[in-house]
Each structure stands twice: as structure tokens, then as C-alpha cells.
A and B are shown apart, each in its own frame.
Chain A
Amino acid sequence: MTTPTTDTDKYDRQLRLWGEDGQSKLERSHILLLNGSATGTETLKNLVLPGIGSFTVVDNKKVTESDLGNNFFVERSSIGKPRATVVCELLRELNDRVKGFSVEECPIHLINNNISFFKDFSLVVSNRLPEEPLLTLSQYLSEHNIPLLITNSYGYIGYLRISTPEHQIIESKPDDPIDDLRIYNPFKQLVDMADALELDKLNSQQHSHVPYVLLLIKFLKEWRSTHDDKMPETRAEKEEFKKFFNSHSWNADEMNFFEGTQNLLKYIQPPRVPGDVQNLLKDPKTNITENSDDFWVLVAALKDFMANNNNTLPLHGNVPDMTSETHNFIQLQKGYQEKALADLSEFSGNVDQILTKVGKSSISSDLVKKFCKNTRFLNIIRYRTIGEEYSQPKTNLIKSELEQADTVMIFYILLRSIDKFYATYHKYPGSSDEFESDIPLLKNVVTQYLAEINVPNDLVKDDYIAEFTRFGGSELHNISSLMGGVTSQEIIKLITHQYTPLNNTFIFNGINSTAGSYNL
């Protein structure tokens, strides 16, 4: 499936990030929002704009005056009308390709009486859902492999929690990946090219344009021939090699030697399989059965490939620009690309073998190719469930964080206490005008909660309890919009399976604009 040409112009600025493949995944997704509050509609806004397939809003409230004070997707004329319908209508205006649906029902009622309603969505966003129905929903979604995002804004504080059983990432697209150039362990074509260099026969223009990759390979080989075939390992040896390398430069202006020196330390170390990939290779799911999904078949094939290739990952094949004559650079590029193609062909063979063995149908060659090119960037995240977080709290993590100055963990304690307060009193602390009378009530709840999770009471200062009571359950548009931004961004990562999503909790402190992420 590709994006229709009429929208490539409109989507240009995002296609440059997640490509046609990411876009088509977005266009096939159906996102469910529980509660059309400001935080919820801001989240959907940032998903409708880039073009998800469809969304559904579940909300049984009517638009009130206070919605006009913080929700952009209501109008003065909407007062008294169903909020689900109103926000759905105004959100749909943002993108005529996106379908929007509204369900005028109470989310809690739906969870308690018609839970199978949730099974057809790609992802569910919940907002301001009380603890009990949230746990029910979370368990159901977890069983059905549907990601759940809990997003809330509360006064100056924002909260996001993601949970999904297993999230697979092929293209984690790290910020500054080190190119796989095989300088430490060159393949045959590279060795041949380096061996064929006759530097002393070159004129000065040619000499200063030999790609540094070949220079490094050549001089490493020479260096090893006088060092018992050993690579430079210690710092002193590396420094010595650097001097040796530079001694072959004809003058200080040779850019190729300069680039070689700049990149030398990065490339003269043994190739490492990234820890995330190592963990994948050790995972029990690499024992393939006919029920295994494509991702795990590919990981198992990778294991086979590496067993035959000295524990080396398939070559990506990309060569960064470097000082060189055009022709030599193209030759070099070809060398890498041919090797990458050979690796891909071998890897595809590994995949086919496994598929035949367990009797599974074939995997699209595009997927095999994408996987093979990105083996350094693979990852999975297995999220803790909400149930685990609540019933087996990470006391040590929470305690040690709370002992730090200015930690946003303090807000986690308060947010959890607010939920408990709500369960007891059916309102948020400070929601009525005589807010101060709620301070001692909230303090009791906090004390009780801290005792429950085994965290010393003195780690939560009274100031925070007073501040949360002051908030009185208010939703400030700025905080809602910020959390809508963060939430929608994580949804895009989850749907496209590109980049690495949050694991698992993000807290924003709008008091001084600090934030933190925790795996809770």
C-alpha cells in the first residue's frame, strides 16, 4: 500500500522522517480515545494531522462552559451538545482523509459491560479513568496485544504511561549511528582494494584523495605485521598507530589523512553486537514454531547467519561521504553494496530454511531486506502491565529517586494518591471552593499509600500535597497540549514500529519545566 500521490505534498515534512512504510502503517490504524477532554483532543489533533486511518471518541459528557476554557475542539455554540460528537466533528475538519467516529457512552460503563468493544482498535488512549476500570481495561488490552496509553494533565503536572506486552522495533533510527565500515574486520573485497594501493606511485592530488577507509585498512595491516599480528589495543598502542598512520601523510593539508585520524579510534575496535540485539538473540522466542510471528523468524534467521559468519551481523552497505576522487568512491561504495547484497542473499536463505522447517508461509522480501539492513538497530520492549506496577511496586527505584533533590518522582506519588483519593471520595482533592479542607484528607491518603509501597513518609513534603490540592483537578490547556504532543509522538512510534518509544512512564513538571522517565 502506498500513499496516494495527492497527499505526498501535504505529508512531505513527515515522510522525510518515517517514510512511505511508516505512513501506510499510520493510515491503517484506528485509534480509540476515552474522554474527549483537552488532553485527549490535543493527542488526537496531532494524529489526525499526519493522517491516521481513523479515530473513535468515547465520551458521555455534554460540552460545558469549562470546556470552552481549555478545549480547542469545542465552540460556544456546542454547549449542551454531546462532547464526543462535537470534538469528533471539529477534529475531522483537520484532515479530510481521516475518518472519525463518536460513541456517546460512559467509558467506565463500556469497560464494565461491553469489554469486547475494545478488541478492534490498533491502540487505546485513556484519560482520567479511575483505577478500577483502568485495571480491567489494561488487562483486557494486554491479553489482546493492544497498546494502552494513559495520559493525564493535572494542574501543572503531566503524566503518560505506556503498556503493551511486546513492542518490536526494526528501525530504531538512533541519532548518530556509527557506520558499519569493517575497518577492523575487512571483508575480502576491501582487503583487495587496500592491497592494490600503490601510494608512492600516486601524484599529490591522487594521494590526498585515497579514501581514508582504505588507508586505515592498509596501514593497520602494515602495523600488525610488525606487532605479532595484533591490533592496537591499549591506549598507548592506539596512539602509536595514530602516529604511524599520520607519518604516511605527505603534508598537513591532506584531508583524507585528517578524516582517518578523526575516525581512527571509533573504527579500530572489535565490532560489538549491540546489547539490545544480543538480548534478542538469547530470547526463548527464537525457538521457532508455526505460531511464531515474522519478527521472531527473522531474529532466529539472524542467529543462524551469525553462527556461519563469525558472529558478525549482515553488512548494512552504506558508505558515508569522504574525501575521494569520484571513481574511487564509487568503486568503494560498490564493494560495500556487493557485500551487503551477498549478506542479504545468505540471510534470505537462512529465513527460507526456517520457514520450510516449521511449515510457515513466506515473509515479504521487502521486510526481509529492511530487517537485514537494520540488524544493528533491532529492539523489543516488553512493558510491565499496570497491574504489575500497582501490585508489585518498584519500591527501591521509587525510594532512591525520592532521595534525590528536584525529582519528578514526587509527582508520581501524588498522582497515584489522587487516584486513590478519587476512589474514596469520588472527586479530586480541591475541586470545590473550600479546597483547604481537602489538604489533610489528601495527606492521609498519601501517608497510607507510602506505607503500602514501603516508602518512608518523610520523603514527600507537605508543600506538594498543598499544591496538588490547589490544582483541584484542573486541566490547564498548556499542560494538556504538551501531554497531547508527547502522547501522540509515542503513538506514532508504536504504530510505525520506528524509533524507540518510552518505557514506560513520563512525568512533566510544568512548575519549572523539568521532566523524567521511569520504568515503573
Chain B
Amino acid sequence: MMETMDTSVDLPGRWIDIEKIIKRSGPFASPSFEPDTKASPNIMNGLQNDFKVLVIGAGGLGCEILKNLALSGFRNIDVIDMDTIDVSNLNRQFLFRRKDVGKSKAEVAAAFINSRIAGCNVTPHKCKIQDKDEDYYRQFKIIIAGLDSIEARRWINGLLVNLVVVNDDGDIEPDTIIPLVDGGTEGFKGQARVILPKISSCFECSLEAFPPQVSYAICTIANTPRVPEHCIQWALLFGLQDASLEKPFDPKQFDNDNPDHMNWLFECAKKRAEKFNINGVTYKLTQGVAKNIIPAIASTNAIIAAACCNEVFKFCTDSSGYLNNYMMYNGLNGVYTFTFEYEIKEGCAVCGTNLVTFEVDKSNTLSTFLEKITTDSRFQFKKPSLRSNGRNLYMQGLLHQSTVPNLEKTLSELNVQEDDEITITDPALPGNLAVRMRIKYTS
């Protein structure tokens, strides 16, 4: 059926709704808005031919974003996702069916959109975003991210900020700015934002809006478990390593998605809980803790993806105002939204001077200092290495052992004086960036 139809030319009247917006001037349109005319349909040409748009993530948000872009008139769309389809995606990722489980998300999503929306041309890439180089990203008019990983968002944000060229006069070359529209959801909550690299606050500026993952103190897990989560963590951290516990698999190959492995983990956590009289270890909770499952539903994804794509459409058509620059959404109690301007963070490691002032007590040991900076939601470090005055204070990797004795020393014993800088590198920081911390002593 489909093959016999000529889809290269649009049916007349197909885009009549969009045309009302792009062919008519309006009081809230951008000053540079020039309505399309029959003789010069520049905006429609842009949507259909000139603009390439990149969608990062073909999951809950990604499926919605692809549909929304295709029905906003865009035709040249790339989508990147390294994941394959899981059965638990099917309650919201509407481009996938049971028969698709195990296949590439990017490929199935692209094929679905291309067959449903005549004329649309989605190109899938089953890979990591890090596999593509700067030249690849430079071809896009705008990028939309529907990711669940903070790390991936930090990476693409860092890259897009880097792509901005500042000329010899210190002026930003506008053509080098590729906006990043970023969405995220969790249960009934979400946020949509627009990042104009080097112009408005970037993703790194707002890291503290994302609370660090719940972590339990190791000694609680090892010695004084109280809640089922502690027992599950024990199974993950200690049970798996314990050679005396029999396992039907190689513990080095532990796989979250393997039901046999998960079942072993559940039984192990259950035994631990029974030993301590703790109730409430269930298979579902075990899965939730082990995989760090975040609840996700179709409706929230629809709301956030639509808010993002509306911004993309307006940016590409100049036909209206814009989101400045962050919209929070919460649907638990009524329908609550809050739109505000997220400010550029002073000393942002990516788009700013990259120098922050950090207050510590003079008596604090390096170990305490380390704990303070790793739990500080502004930075979200994973495995930080610290240097100061040309000296290694605390290192990961090969030099780790040699710096462990420093942990018990105070900062001043390590020759860190007031106003000295500590340079911190961390795998979570995009690119080869380092955070510089200027130390202020409080007492």
C-alpha cells in the first residue's frame, strides 16, 4: 500500500494549522519574524529542508519528541540511543511493541515515525553520544535531549558550550550557538528548559537542581541494617563478593537485567533481612534498589516533551515568544508549573570562570573535606582527585595508595592555606575540565 503512494510531495492543506502561525504576523512573534508568503516560504523550507534536528534518547521522552517534531513539520531528524527495548518501556514508549523487545530503540523508533508520518526522514544511530565528534554535532540547528542520565547531559552540554566561537573582539559568533533543549521526568514531575550555550545558564550551572542519588552509609549496611533497602544494598555490595555464598552465575558478570541474577540477589537480601528481623524485602523492591528504578508514565513524558518541542518549533520559526529558561512541572497536587530564569552560576566549571569559593573548618581532615565536596549537590562528583600547590592531596588510580595517608591529615597540615586553590578532577566532569576551589577557613 504505502510503496505505491508518492509521499515526496505534501498533500495540499496538510500543514494548514502550522501555516496559520507561520504565514501571519503576530504581536508576540520575535522581531526577526517574517511571515511566509507564497513566493517565499522560507520558514516552511527551513522546517522541511534546511534544518537538521538532533534528538538524544529514544526512550519515554524521545518517542514523544520524535512524534512532535515530525508533526511540527520537521523532516530531517537524527536520533541517538544506544539502548535496546525492554518490556518495562512499553507502558509509555509508544513507538515500540512486544515484538520489538531486544531491538535498538533508535532504529525501531525511526522506522515507526518514517512509516507513519509521510515525508519524514528520521536517521537512527545506535551508539553512545560520546562516539560522535564535534563535526557531527555542528550540523544541527538545535538539539533536544530526553535523557535519564545526568552524566550524558553534562557531556553534551559541555560539548555545545565548547562549540561556541568567540571572535577576536570577544564577541560570540551567533552561528556557532546550537541551543540545547533539555527535558527530564520522574513520576508525576518534570522539567523543560532551554540552554543557549554561553548566553544563558548551562546544564552544569544547575546541577544542584538534581539531588544526588540516595546513598546509604557503608557501616550501616555492614553492621546495623534497619530497612529492607539496607539488606538489598548488602547483597549488592557484600553478598555478591562473598565467595562462600553459592551463586548460579559468575559474580563478575552480574547483570541487572537477568532475572536469574536478580532472583539470587532477592534471595540473598531476604536471608540477610530474616537474620535481622527486618520485614519488607520484595522482588520488586530489590529490582528498584538494584537498578535504581525511577517511576515513569506516559502523561508526564508527553507534557515535558511537548513543552520542549514547542520551544524548538518557536526557535526555528521565530513565530512567538520563548521560554526563559526553565519550567518546572509537578502534577501530584493539582497541576503546578513554575517558570523562571535559571541564572548563570558564578564560577561554573563549563560556561563560567570555573572558580568557586568553598568554606571549611580549619580542623577538618581531608577525609571530611572529601565527604563534604562529594555530597555537595552543586558538583556531583563521583571519584574526585585533588591537587593543591603542585602536590597530590588525594588521587584515584595508580597514585591512590600513596595519597591514602593524607586522608587523616587536616587541610592545614597538608599546607593548604586560606585562599589557596584546590584543583579537582573527576570522571563526572565533561571533557578535561577541572573545578578550582578557593579555600576559606571558618574558624
Contact = CB atoms under 8 A, between A and B. Distances in A.
- Report whether chain A binds chain B: yes
Interface of A: 9-17, 38, 42, 45-46, 49-51, 64-66, 68-72, 75-77, 79, 93-94, 155-156, 160, 172-175, 209, 321-327, 329-330, 430, 435, 463-464, 466-467, 470-472, 474-479, 481-482, 484-486, 488-490, 492-493, 499-503, 506, 508, 510-515, 517
Given A9-B88, A326-B225, A478-B313, A16 B293 contact: yes
B339 A514 contact: yes
B367 to A, nearest CB: 13
Interface of B: 1-2, 5, 7, 11-18, 20-21, 24-28, 64, 67-68, 71-73, 87-88, 90-92, 94, 97, 116-118, 187-188, 192, 220, 224-227, 229-230, 276-278, 284, 287-288, 293-307, 309-311, 313, 320-324, 327, 330-337, 339
Given A10-B90, A500-B334, A463 B7 contact: no
Contacts of A322: 226
A49 B91 contact: yes
Nearest to A255: B217
Contacts of B16: 65-66, 69, 474
B5 A175 contact: no
A10 B322 CA distance: 37
Which 3 pairs of residues, A with B, have the shortest CB-CB distance?
A485-B302, A482-B306, A485-B303
6 contacts: A76-B2, A76-B11, A329-B226, A330-B226, A477-B67, A485-B303
Nearest to B337: A515
**SS of B interface (majority):** loop
Nearest to B13: A65
B309 A326 contact: no
A470 B64 contact: no
Contacts of A489: 188, 297, 299-300, 303, 331, 335
A46 B339 contact: no
A326 B27 contact: no
A470 B335 contact: no
Given A326-B226, A499-B333, A477 B71 contact: yes
Nearest to B194: A513
A501 B299 CA distance: 14
A70 B24 contact: no
Given A512-B322, A513-B323, A517-B336, A477 B91 contact: no
A166 B383 CA distance: 54
Contacts of A93: 97
B17 A69 contact: yes
Given A14-B91, A76-B7, A470 B333 contact: no
Nearest to B304: A485
B333 A490 contact: no
A463 B28 contact: yes
A472 to B, nearest CB: 4
A72 B116 contact: yes
B118 A502 contact: no
A517 B327 CA distance: 15
B13 A66 contact: yes
A515 B303 CA distance: 12
Contacts of B12: 65
A500 B334 CA distance: 6
B17 A476 contact: yes
